[in-house]
Structure 1
């Protein structure tokens, strides 16, 4: 049996797969196959119209897609009880696989199996205890592969260069990143107060908005500036290294992508230092839209974040906000959810 595949460079493989899936021609019944040291073969049901590729080939002996991680571990002699303790999910970010190995026996064997499942990847990381400290530094360790933690991850056409051992990147925020690109457009002024490597700033700049992106972690800032160039938005994405509470940037839309962004009153070394919400409202024009992220226990949804938002508006002498939308982005921890409130402030 001969089956069709398209040959693409390895760094472009995940972006190409996403595009092929969107186009409806990706054949998920077959595995991605290594073509040579620099290319992979992506299985397709027909030649794509929108996704670029170097050439189409006929595979004489196509590889059926491997059943799943559990089957591969069973082949390695893992018992049912051991397989239950293996990661149940993982994320492929460019050439890096990120998973939680907290209770997993023999992580190296699982890492090797994951690399067999995802030929486009070359490193497997244990995500450890998440992120820590003011700069939200990830706690990761290499489980398998060559250990290269720098990669370029592509989502909905946006390219994110990053080092997963040095800067935070949450796979669970994928839909929110795409949604922010859809929420804005040409002519709009946007302030991203916690930009990181450009999680939200890049999709919004690519949509045509003029974006001011603020980040205080020097490593994340370096990737933010690089990603502005990588995505051809350097002319409309102004990057600032520093504390977002000290930035004067009037905006029609402000993104506060930090769990403690709604934390009540003044924060910092002096009472005169404004809180994050205070600083946001100082920059948000009348009628502007605020996207406020928060981590909230389920029992306090939605009263706690909404009451903090209303209190902040009252402190700033602004009228009560109009809530446009509330969303649960993902589970943050047991009984706690990462949520977003969209509100228009008169």
Structure 2
């Protein structure tokens, strides 16, 4: 079926396209046509000042802004659909309430349809558990694999989402620490995982000591060193308690929010006088920082040291009324 179009020279196409969108006249249900040195736009009505033609246009595939636009579930359960989910590389991980578990496959397929770059969808099957901080994952749709390469802050991170802990939601926080890091520093990443802090900070640091108790995390950290051509990261497999004190760092990263308070002394004996510790924790919104600062000050006092709080901030919401918080402090 023939329909209206306007024909413009290629060099004017982008300017015209923007103007048509602004006026609400571009018919986005159909694809733009290219014809030699000209571009033909499908339009909803005649527009003065342009060459009007009648053309047959190919129907465009509809783009969806959210998987919730295409998912097939009972309408009364629609309000339970999560508004967001984690994307790690080309893998999506979504947290579903119990009522939606029977519709998991439909939800997974809808995510694949709405997000073409996602190749596999999993649901969170448990809370983060065990000393390796991993969770059970339930396959919903797409490829049945859990290894991927995630890109953030100019680095690439290879990982298996079923074997190591990783949160893509901390990318901004990791860049904040990178911006505070000075050239030539010695860094101690106490709970390094696959190296999202370590690999990034290695761009500025003299050396980064990266410790983790999970052998899979250290395996991927070694791979990520090669992937990013980084030489100055030293992976250490083992309990950080056995490493603490053997390193004297300018900056210590404590990214273990649930248990970081248990390792405050280890951090303090591993940092130079005047060095900085980046501490992470979980808090209720009614009392975000006081309890954590009290634990920091008590640990320092027991070691005969003092601390100066440099910055405290909310990193991200973690659960209803709960936040992941960060406290930067110097040790003297």
Please give the TM-score of this superposition, normalised by the length of structure 1: 0.74
**Alpha-carbon contact 2:199-2:225 (below 8 Å) kept:** yes
Aligned partners of 2:76 and 2:188: how far apart in 1?
49
Residue 159 (str. 1) matches residue 146 (str. 2): no
Residue 236 (str. 1) matches residue 232 (str. 2): yes
1:298-337 equivalences under 5 Å are 298-319=285-306, 321-337=307-323
Aligned partners of 1:191 and 1:62: how far apart in 2?
52
Moved more, 284-293 or 180-189: 180-189
Tell me by how many angstroms 1:313 deviates.
0.9
1:37-186 equivalences under 5 Å are 63-73=61-71, 76=72, 78-103=73-98, 104=100, 105-186=102-183
Q: Which of residues 262, 271, 284 in structure 2 aligns to 1:284?
A: 271
**Alpha-carbon contact 1:180-1:203 (below 8 Å) kept:** no
Aligned partners of 2:204 and 2:141: how far apart in 1?
37
| C-alpha distance after superposition, 1:127-179 (max 9, x if no partner) | 22231011112221111112111000001211110001111111322211222
RMSD: 2.2
Tell me by how many angstroms 1:289 deviates.
0.4
SS at match of 1:138: coil
Instruction: Select the structure of larger CA radius of gyration.
Output: 2
1:20-35 equivalences under 5 Å are none
Tell me by how many angstroms 1:86 deviates.
2.2
SS at match of 2:312: strand
**Alpha-carbon contact 1:255-1:292 (below 8 Å) kept:** yes
**Alpha-carbon contact 1:261-1:292 (below 8 Å) kept:** no
Moved more, 283-292 or 298-307: 298-307
Moved more, 179-188 or 309-318: 179-188
SS at match of 2:269: helix
Q: Which of residues 202, 205, 227 in structure 2 aligns to 1:205?
A: 202
Q: Which of residues 216, 233, 241 in structure 1 aligns to 2:213?
A: 216
SS at match of 1:197: coil
Aligned partners of 2:270 and 2:259: how far apart in 1?
15
Tell me by how many angstroms 1:326 deviates.
0.7
**Which segments of 5 or more consecutive residues in structure 2 lack a partner in the other structure?**
8-27, 29-57
2:43 corresponds in structure 1 to none
**Alpha-carbon contact 2:184-2:204 (below 8 Å) kept:** no
SS at match of 2:141: strand
Aligned partners of 1:102 and 1:128: how far apart in 2?
10
**Alpha-carbon contact 1:127-1:139 (below 8 Å) kept:** yes
1:1-20 equivalences under 5 Å are none
Tell me by how many angstroms 1:63 deviates.
4.1
